[in-house]
Structures are given as C-alpha cells and as structure tokens.
Copies of this chain bind each other. A is one copy, B any other.
C-alpha cells in the first residue's frame, strides 16, 4: 500500500491565532470547509459528484477514513488513485489538502445491507462508526477549519452548489434530506433525522444505562416524527426545520460546534449513539440542529 509521509515541518514556531468564523457568506469570506467521509466502498458517482462542487476547491480539505483489512486496502488504492489524478490535474479543481486515515479497529458486522441494518447489530455497528468518525474528525480539524461537512461515501448525487446553499443558512448544524432514486421515482432513505416524541423519551427513561434507542425500526416504535417524510416536491428548497436527532449522510456542522467538544458518542448518551447522540450532545453544548426537508441528496441504491 503506497503512503506519503508528511514532510517534517520547520522547527520554528507555527502560530495559529484565532479559529476561523463560519458565516452565511462562506465562499466570499474564504471560509475553509473540511469534507469528511468514512469510506468502506468507493463509488465513482460519489467522487464525480464531489469533484463537481462549485465551492472553491482551494478552500476545501478532504478527509477519508478507510476500514482495515483486505477490502479496506482495495478502497484505499481506489481513493488514492482518484486523489492523485485530481491533485495533479487543473489547478482550479485541486483541493487544498487530502487526508487519508485507516480505522484502528475492525468493523463488528458485515457490510451486507441486511446484516448491517439488523436492529441487533446497531449498537456495535453504530458505536464503531462513531469511533471512525471521531478519529477522522480529531485528526483533520484545524484552527482554520470554518465548517465540517459530513458526507457519506454512498451519496452519489447532490446539487453542485450544496456547500454554498447549506452554509448560506448559517446554522450550527444542518442536514439535507437523504433519498434514494428508485424505479424512476424517489424514496426515503435516511431515518436518523427526527423530532423527539414523548413516547421515545418515556422509552428511554425506562431503559437501563447501556441500552440504546435507534430510529427506523418497527420492533422499537418511537412515534418520533420523521424528517424524511417532510419532503414536499413542490415545497421551498430553503424551508428549515428544527431537529432533535440527525444522521450523517450530508450534515454540515460549524467547526466551533466540534471544537467545543461535540463528537459522536460510541456509548449511549441519553440512550442515543453516533450521529443521533451527536445532535443531543451539541444541544447540551448550546447548539440547535436543523434540517432542510426539501433539499434532497441521493443515496446509492445497492
């Protein structure tokens, strides 16, 4: 597996004064965006879509974290080749910097759709995803990062202006609505964006410390109101709605939210883990999560 070691920095001091502010005029203010993607499968469509982003690439850093093992090695080779091509291509298409990391733990469950979506697998799987996200975040965020954009590697279609559009809402945490193209139409995909319900709160209150509540399972009815169903094809793309739980498919976060400490709990935090726990933790830090119900991004259809 090829690897490029960072060159030794100069021995003189390196002073980073003020962390960069994140505003609604992100591109004009030259605000840096760090796009973070946990990557267990490399889709050409994801890469093409990402490279078509109109936000100035010189303000974008990319960060990937790839699983260990044989499959991970293959993904790594693919992403490295793709990165090399872009970074040695036309200047205006090059990204500021690309970080590639490996997981430091094995994934506890299979990559198969059925297997990884079983309710019984969620605590282990999403706990492990949380560790991957945290490692990636802690290793790549810098004082000059203004925004962190979490973009799953199987998001194969978004508006090219997604960074301008989403930063324009000036929210601490903001998610797009994740659908899937299906038989000529679309269907909901990401159920992790929701508004809290009293039923779920009561359920959580009755649980033992180590139990978790995950959304989107018949076996665990929460009666939470699901953001994914708020999509209205004739609605205003700029409609905003407050959320209590979020997913990570296309999630924009002001870097200060993470710098204040908001991370992805791999342990039950208010009986929530990973991205859903992140939204709750951010809330405890004083930050509200929002969603754009009519702003769609599309998940690969396996």
**Which residues of A come within 8 Å of B, CB atoms?**
1, 3-4, 6, 9, 11-19, 58, 80, 83-84, 87-88, 91, 94-102, 104, 130-131, 134-135, 137-139, 141-144, 256, 258-261, 263-267, 284-285
Given contacts A143-B101, A263-B263, A266-B285, contact A258 B138 (CB under 8 A): yes
Q: Decide: B11 and A94 in contact? CB cutoff 8 A.
A: yes
A-B contact pairs, 19 of them (CB 8 A): A3-B15, A9-B96, A11-B58, A12-B87, A14-B98, A15-B100, A16-B100, A18-B104, A131-B260, A135-B259, A137-B138, A138-B258, A138-B261, A139-B141, A139-B143, A139-B259, A261-B264, A261-B266, A265-B284
* Nearest-neighbor residue (CB-CB) of A13 within chain B: B98
Contact B135 A19 (CB under 8 A): yes
Q: Which residue of chain B has the shortest Cβ distance to A6 in the bound complex? A: B14
Query: Separation in Å of the A164 CB from the closest CB of chain B?
Result: 22
- The reply to whether B87 and A11 contact each other, CB–CB distance below 8 Å, is yes
Contact B13 A83 (CB under 8 A): yes
A130/B261 in contact, CB under 8 A: yes
Copies in the complex: 2
Residues of B within 8 A of A87 (CB): 11-13
Q: Which 7 residue pairs are nearest across A and B when measured between Cβ atoms?
A: A267-B284, A134-B261, A13-B98, A261-B263, A11-B94, A139-B143, A135-B259
Contact partners of A131 in chain B: CB under 8 A: 260-261
Query: Which B residues are CB-close (under 8 A) to A1?
Result: 17
| Neighbouring B residues of A101 by C-beta, 8 Å | 16-19, 143
C-alpha gap A35/B76 in the complex (Å): 32
Closest to A57 in B: B11
Complex Cα gap A189–B96 (Å): 47
Known: A13-B83, A19-B101. 19 other contacts (CB 8 A): A4-B13, A6-B144, A11-B87, A11-B94, A12-B94, A13-B97, A15-B98, A15-B100, A16-B99, A18-B104, A19-B104, A104-B256, A104-B259, A134-B259, A134-B260, A134-B261, A135-B259, A138-B261, A267-B285
- By a CB distance below 8 angstroms, the chain B residues around A102 are 17-18
